[in-house]
Structures are given as C-alpha cells and as structure tokens.
C-alpha cells in the first residue's frame, strides 16, 4: 500500500520546477505551494514551456520531453557539471565516469558503490536509483554528500525532475 501511495505522489508531483529548495527526500514539495516558482506542470505531466517535445515516443505513445532524454541529461548535467569537476577519467570518484562516452554504461543497471543494494540507475524506479538519491535535497539513505559536491545551489528542480523523468521512463539511451 505504501508503494502505491508513493507512486501516486510521484505522478501528481512529477512536473515540479524551481530551485530544489523545499523538497523532501523523494523530491516532493514540503508544502502545497513549493515548487511553483519556476513553472507549472503541463497537463500531460511533462514540463511547461521551453525545450519542446522530442520526436520519439514514450511507452505510452506520447511525445517525450527533451529534458527526459539521456542526451539532454548528458549534455546539460553530466557534461556541464559532473564530468567537468570530478566524474571523469580513471580517477573518477567510485569509478563513476560521466563523460559522454562512458556515462550510460557506468550508470544503468550498475550497483552503487556507496549503497550496493541500490543500482546507480534502476530503470523505471527513480526512488530506488542511487543517482536520484544523491541529487535530491534529503534522503536518509544517501551516503556522503549531496551532489554536485561543493554547492548549493546544487541542481535546479528542473534538472532533478529531468533525471527523475528519464529514470521513470525506463532510462533509455536516447
């Protein structure tokens, strides 16, 4: 029953946008008006405005928001933030190289080093993916610091939602 309630909450709050402040361990707003500063969810549960939908279809046959595609996440999160500072080359922390040529294979279906009972990315299950645990504001399961390190402002709520959306879509390599 708890899992069903959690899933329902994810569906209802899936379009969150803003700075990431005021979110709980699951990335959900702590109060009813949290997350409304950076935009509202679109009627289809995606992002409103900017970026546009891609030409590929989600498993429900609808258009896929570009921000929930791996290519967007690679370019706008991993390449611009993670691989620039730490997660590159043979010395990448915990072996997690996030350069474009390595990131997908180092993330999807791979056990986390810090929390081996969780995969780094478990397709279809953001709440059970350690990557997501490491970037949301609070999660009691997280070991070490929230990522990206040496922040805030950390990732914006839009970028956190992009990662959540990509994983929820099944973490395709698109």
Using an 8 Å Cβ cutoff, are 154 and 18 in contact?
Answer: no
Tell which residue, 137, 158, 170, has the closest CA to residue 16: 158
Give domain status of residue 26, yes or no.
yes
Per-residue pLDDT of the chain (174 residues; tens, 9 = 90+): 454 443 333 333 333 334 444 445 555 444 333 333 333 333 333 343 333 333 333 444 568 899 999 999 999 999 998 988 799 999 999 999 999 999 999 999 999 999 999 999 999 999 999 999 999 988 999 999 999 986 667 899 999 999 999 999 999 999
Give domain status of residue 41, yes or no.
yes
User: Is 0.85 topped by the overall pTM?
Assistant: no
DSSP string, 95-112: G---STTTHHHHHBT-B-
Q: 67 in helix, strand or coil?
A: helix
**What pLDDT score was predicted for residue 47?**
40
Give domain status of residue 102, yes or no.
yes
**What pLDDT score was predicted for residue 83?**
86
Give domain status of residue 80, yes or no.
yes
Give domain status of residue 124, yes or no.
yes
**What pLDDT score was predicted for residue 85?**
78
Using an 8 Å Cβ cutoff, are 163 and 132 in contact?
Answer: yes
Give domain status of residue 62, yes or no.
yes
Q: How many domains does the chain have?
A: 1
Per the structure block, which two tokens stand in for 110?
């791979």
Q: Which domain holds residue 118?
A: 2-168
**What pLDDT score was predicted for residue 151?**
62
The CA distances from residue 10 to 7, 13, 114, in Å, are 5, 5, 25
Give domain status of residue 45, yes or no.
yes
Please report where in the chains the tokens 């992009």 appear, as a residue.
162
Give domain status of residue 149, yes or no.
yes
């Amino acid at each position: 029953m708890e899992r069903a309630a959690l899933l329902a909450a994810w569906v209802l709050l899936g379009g969150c946008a803003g700075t990431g402040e005021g979110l709980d361990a699951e990335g959900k707003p702590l109060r009813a008006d949290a997350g409304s500063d950076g935009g509202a969810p679109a009627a289809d549960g995606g992002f409103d405005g900017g970026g546009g939908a891609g030409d590929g279809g989600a498993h429900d046959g609808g258009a896929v928001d570009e921000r929930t595609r791996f290519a967007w996440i690679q370019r706008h999160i991993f390449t611009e933030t993670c691989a620039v500072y730490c997660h590159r080359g043979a010395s990448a922390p915990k072996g997690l190289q996030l350069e474009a040529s390595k990131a997908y294979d180092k993330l999807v279906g791979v056990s986390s080093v810090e929390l081996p009972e969780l995969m780094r990315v478990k397709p279809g299950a953001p709440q059970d993916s350690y990557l997501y645990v490491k970037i949301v504001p609070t999660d009691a399961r997280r070991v070490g610091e929230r990522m990206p390190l040496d922040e805030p402002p950390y990732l914006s709520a839009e970028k956190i939602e992009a990662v959540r959306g990509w994983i929820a879509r099944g973490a395709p390599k698109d």
